[in-house]
Structure 1
Amino acid sequence: MLDITTVILTYNEEKHIERCIHNAQLFSRKIYLVDSYSTDRTCEIAESLGAIVYQNKWENNYARQLNWGLSNLPIETEWVFRLDADEYLSDALISEMTLKLPNVPLEISGIVMERKMIFLGRIINKGNIRWNMLRLFRNKKSFCEERWMDEHMVLTEGISQQWQNCFYDDNLNSLGWWINKHNGYAIREAIDMLNIELKFLPEKGQDSSISMSKDAKDKRGKKEKYTSMPLFWRTFIYFIYRYVFKFGFTEGKEGFLWHFLQGWWYRTLVDAKIFEIKKHCGNDTLKIKAYILDNYRIDLNK
């Protein structure tokens, strides 16, 4: 085993957790779950496979839950891998990790790797942007920034290094579950984009001592540019770019559904929520906060 502890956040993940843990056992010395009091068999399955379960109340904030785990778990390994329950590493990435990790220079504190989506059983290779993510990092040298969407791991020391191979996001729930989940994501994305435009929320955990990966910085810059484009037109342009110019149309029916739902429908739903909020509140940030609290039960003052 490599000198890695894998940390998995869970809530009712009995459909995925066995696959995830079996995969993590191929490269991890220890596996911890930070569970939000699951009501299904997630914890039972995990413990039967040798994982160690800690529980912490969910505060509707992914970064806060992960950072609680990084601060409170008794992690003794040099490296930590952050893994979601519906994710697993490719064999090629595990081999690359086994070969490279023992020789990583001391100035490298984080490893960036590509996440590929599997949608309705098909790996989506065409049409997506390249999702590079910092997932492997030295213990006590990284934390998750607090944002409403697209939280990234950032380094408090050292720099990151890009590796070649990928891990997979392969959720086994129904399409209806996916749609409901993204409806919930849409208001969080809308808040994030309104904040990019109007800057009415404080930055959390951002100072000169932290280091974000180049890919995360590039993605943040592209999101700011996207936010400046006209509502609804930008969602259409984004879909055409992905589906036509990046050859998403070559991925069959699954690819069409992925790019339509994730690249157009979801983005349009985000814009619709922004339109709704601005129609009622304009650019008045106090009204925006009150409207979101009244209609979406999200308190932006916390």
Structure 2
Amino acid sequence: MKRLVPRLLLAPAVVSLLAWMLVPLAMTVYFSLVHYNLLMPGRHLFTGLQNYRYFMSDPAFGTSLVNTLELLGSVIAITVVLGIALAQLVHEPFPGRPVVRLMLIAPFFVMPAASALLWKYMMMNPIYGVLAQISLALGFKPVDWLTELPLLSIIIIVSWEWLPFAFLIFMTALQSLDQEQMEAARMDGANALQRFWFLTFPHLKRSISMVVMIELIFLISVFAEIFTTTGGGPGNASSNLAYLIFKQALVNFDVGMASAGALLAVVLANVVALFAIRAIGKNLD
């Protein structure tokens, strides 16, 4: 009886958690198997796997899939490389280091929609944006970033948002680095590159693994930055799977096809995570 009482007390929380997780998933699976359009909410005609076939045959699907993978790979590479570089620069003490650390971390607390608006109107505007003024000052023609380089613009915005996270993780990891080993290597004649490659980089492998895993989970669903800046365009040049699902659900009012796309995105996320876990898990042993 004593063992049963704690389980009974936990049962409502467990049941609520399972319902919160399983009910939306079950409804998504159901809607993906029926023809459900918001303009005709009373008709739920069973279509089997047609929604999946139609979603994958959409001309925008291939482009959105490639853009999603490019966005994932580019942002992770940029944040890891620059995060390590910034952490190395800030690791050594200098006047004003706390202020510099705070300024480097601050962008992580800006909402995605707000940061997208900041970059759209203050940085990348081809007339009065900061980048346009820099180009004019250097004698170059300003670039209309969101029109000419839409996917690169999204990558820059998202990288700016997630760089502080990577920097914070790497900066914390460097604080636990054995300074006696670094001093011994310096006395033995090892240069800065050798000390980084043989001491610092192996020490950061676990942190790199954690950054890659967390960013993989969150970046596959990037939406606000695309919706606020390019709207997935021009055409589908900057659309990803999350934005394509949005267009099917709230632009075409096709809940069935959007649900099928959502489940395909879940499968893609699990496949990517599986390969990432297998590749990165060795560093966590």
TM-score strictly above 0.5:
no
Q: Which has the higher helix share?
A: 2
Q: Which has the higher strand share?
A: 1
Q: What TM-score does the superposition give when structure 1 sets the normalisation length?
A: 0.25
Q: What TM-score does the superposition give when structure 2 sets the normalisation length?
A: 0.26
Structure with bigger gyration radius: 2
If asked which structure has higher relative contact order (CA below 8 Å, sep 6+), I would say: 2
